[in-house]
Copies of this chain bind each other. A is one copy, B any other.
Amino acid sequence: MIKTGFLGPKGTFSQEAMIVYTKGGSEYTGIDYNTMTDLIAAVSKDEIDEAVVPIENSLEGAVSVTLDMLATEPDIKIKAEVIIPISQNLLAKRGTQFKNIKYILSHPQAIGQCRKYIDSNFPDAMIKYLYSTAEAAKEVAEGNGDMAAVGSKAAAGVYDLEILQESIQDNNNNLTRFIVISKKEAPKSRKSKTSIVFSTENKPGSLYRILDIFSLWDINMTRIESRPAKNKLGRYIFFVDIEGHVEDEDVRDALTMVKRKTSFYKFLGSYPEFERQM
């Protein structure tokens, strides 16, 4: 039995991503945790085998708390990625009238994804940011008919809410990439990606010199994301995804060089590239 954690409560997109990842296999048990901190701690303490966490949305960008965790948790590696389409819906208690909605509740990313819809349909509504779309649905279910939540259809089911309007996101290119983190690494697959995080020396051109290494070894960088180093404004750490597996000779040699040329370096894992089922 494999214990797979996800960011709860039930009805979040994290749970949906977990189901895509496990393909509903009976060897997996899903366990929900209320905060990211609890979820990560559960992996560190071997309470669960792995956890599914969001890392990037095609509209709203990187999920900072996940990146910061990857940089600082020593034992945690990425073993898989899952990409799922995100569809946001307007959820309310049964019988709620559009004109009575005074509060709109959701996670900041979900609100961001529906900003135009909210601004044009509810220009006077108060926005309340909660920890997850499912928390918002839960609070609306406990409220008194002047609130709506932005969230998944699954959340409507879990909290017995009515879907007032389907698919309210401003842009249909709305996908979220989740990663599966674990202390165990993934077996080598046909098509792999590798993730690392590093900080450069504080001198001109130091990031350029690192990217130069990938260029020399003909390695394709698919993503670069910066986060503050937290010791000084203007110092950063960089998260880089490249094509290939750390056991490939070129990738191994390039990463050895990157490690030599950086002041902080952490290998985050080689894992299979997600292939969407169309």
Chain A residues engaging chain B, CB cutoff 8 angstroms: 37, 56-61, 64-65, 83, 108, 112, 115, 119, 127-131, 171, 173, 175, 177, 204-205, 207-208, 211-212, 214-215, 220-228, 230-234, 236
Contact = CB atoms under 8 A, between A and B. Distances in A.
B233 A177 contact: yes
Contact of A130 (B119, B128, B177): B128
B57 A228 contact: yes
Contacts of A228: 56-61
A69 to B, nearest CB: 11
Contacts of A220: 204-205
15 contacts: A37-B115, A58-B232, A59-B230, A61-B64, A64-B112, A127-B131, A128-B128, A173-B231, A205-B221, A207-B221, A208-B211, A208-B214, A222-B234, A223-B226, A225-B226
A222 B37 CA distance: 32
Contacts of A227: 61
Nearest to A224: B226
B56 A60 contact: no
